[in-house]
């Protein structure tokens, strides 16, 4: 299993939100992602710069991962007014 940074999209409180998360891959297929977007922290300016360069590289080649509904895996594009149209689950902003 490997991982990379990935630009993600989801709808929170009725608003589009794009963020960077770590995604986990098995044979090139995304099998999971971090609940929350990643923070950039490090022990030095150089470490922060290196992390940002890796993020930029990964995001440029990875496209956008749509984060689905946490209840039914329905596509984000099928959600409005904090409710998934497929399963009726409401969104309170918790991680999915």
Nearest CA to 35 out of 70, 4, 76, 75 is that of: 70
- Phi, psi angles (nearest 5°) of residue 33: -155, 165
What is the pLDDT of the chain when averaged over all its residues?
79
Band the pLDDT of 44: cuts 50, 70, 90.
very high
Torsion of the alpha carbons at 48, 52, 54 and 58, rounded to the nearest 10:
150
- Reported as type and span, the H/E element at residue 47 is helix 45-62
Band the pLDDT of 16: cuts 50, 70, 90.
confident
Indicate whether 93 pLDDT > 50.
no
Indicate whether 59 pLDDT > 70.
yes
Residue 15: per-residue pLDDT: 81
């Amino acid at each position: 299993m490997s991982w990379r940074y990935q630009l993600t999209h989801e709808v929170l409180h009725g608003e589009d939100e794009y963020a960077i998360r770590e995604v986990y891959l098995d044979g090139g297929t995304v099998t999971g992602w971090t609940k929350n977007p990643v923070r950039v922290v490090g022990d030095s300016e150089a470490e922060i710069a290196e992390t940002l360069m890796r993020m930029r590289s990964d995001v440029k080649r990875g496209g956008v991962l749509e984060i689905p509904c946490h209840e039914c895996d329905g596509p984000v594009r099928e959600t409005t007014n904090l409710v998934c149209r497929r399963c009726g689950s409401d969104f309170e902003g918790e991680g999915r």
